[in-house]
Amino acid sequence: MEGYGPSTYGDAFADVYDDWYTELPPPTVTAEFVARRSTGLVVELGSGTGRLAGALGAAGLPVVGLDASTAMLRRSRHTHPHLPVVAADMAEQPFRRGVAGCVLVAFNTLFNLPTGAGQRAALHQAADLLAEGGAVVVEAFVPADLGDAGGGHVDVVRSTDEVVVLSVSRTDPGRQTVWGHHVELRDGEPVRLRPWHVRFTDPDGVDALATSAGLELEARYGDWTGAPFDDRSTSHVSVYRHARRHR
């Protein structure tokens, strides 16, 4: 995975992203959730093709997207021409302090940053972006209890008459990382590899990063509908507010 950087994932998946990720919860549900908690401008970190930011804009929320991948941003501009987007690394955010009513980091995007330090830096900057009463909203998967179950995994991601897509990955439980490739196989065509990497942590770990960034947990849900978060939840939607402004 030499040469893997902030734009690698987005550049590798931009052309297929909206076709492959069709079974996610409807973006309108996320827009309703955010609308109830934002006090103004929504900044989405890692806005990708505009799947969510576009829905927020369509729901009437002021929103700006940020993404490190120009290929993703090209898709976003094509599908959502009125959505303002910025090319930047979410660990080096270019916005003025105090401009945001909500900073949204959805669909495991925080885990795209390769280290805990990078994730903390991104949350720290997100906290700085918040206006009075604003919220940072993080959606992330809950890691399975891995024990020592590191090593390699192969999963079938898609299988149609025309294409087979396998996810071939290697988990390092100690480093809390998974490196992988989506391997695309089409009859008679060269194999296409799409690399990805996540540095994961459990909900307590996300809280610890947020706390060290000056945020505190206000509420945690199991999904965007506001369902309760419990032991069976496979992902969480967590709402953080600026700790100092609460006290």
Ligand X SMILES: C[S@@+](CC[C@H](N)C(=O)[O-])C[C@H]1O[C@@H](n2cnc3c(N)ncnc32)[C@H](O)[C@@H]1O
Shortest Å distance, C-beta 174 to ligand X = 23
200 near ligand X, judged by CB under 6 A: no
223 near ligand X, judged by CB under 6 A: no
Shortest Å distance, C-beta 132 to ligand X = 26
Report helix, strand and coil shares of the chain as percent, to nearest 5.
Answer: 30, 35, 40
Shortest Å distance, C-beta 194 to ligand X = 12
| Span 47-66, contacts to ligand X by CB under 6 A | 47-48, 51-52
113 near ligand X, judged by CB under 6 A: yes
| H or E segment to which residue 208 belongs | helix 203-212
Shortest Å distance, C-beta 182 to ligand X = 12
6 near ligand X, judged by CB under 6 A: yes
Q: How many residues bind ligand X (CB under 6 A)?
A: 21
Q: Closer to ligand X by CB, 6 or 180: give it.
A: 6
Shortest Å distance, C-beta 212 to ligand X = 19
Q: How far apart are CA 28 and CA 207, in angstroms?
A: 26
Q: How far apart are CA 237 and CA 247, in angstroms?
A: 23
203 near ligand X, judged by CB under 6 A: no
Structure-block tokens of residue 119: 């994730």
**Residue/partner pairs of 177-186 with CB below 8 Å, 24 or more apart:** 177/114, 179/1, 182/13, 182/157, 186/162
125 near ligand X, judged by CB under 6 A: no
Shortest Å distance, C-beta 141 to ligand X = 11
| Span 65-104, contacts to ligand X by CB under 6 A | 67-69, 72, 89-91
State residue 175 phi and psi, 5-degree precision: -85, -5
Cβ-proximal residue to ligand X, closest one: 10
Q: Closer to ligand X by CB, 130 or 137: give it.
A: 137
Residues near ligand X (CB under 6 A) are 6, 9-10, 46-48, 51-52, 67-69, 72, 89-91, 106-109, 112-113
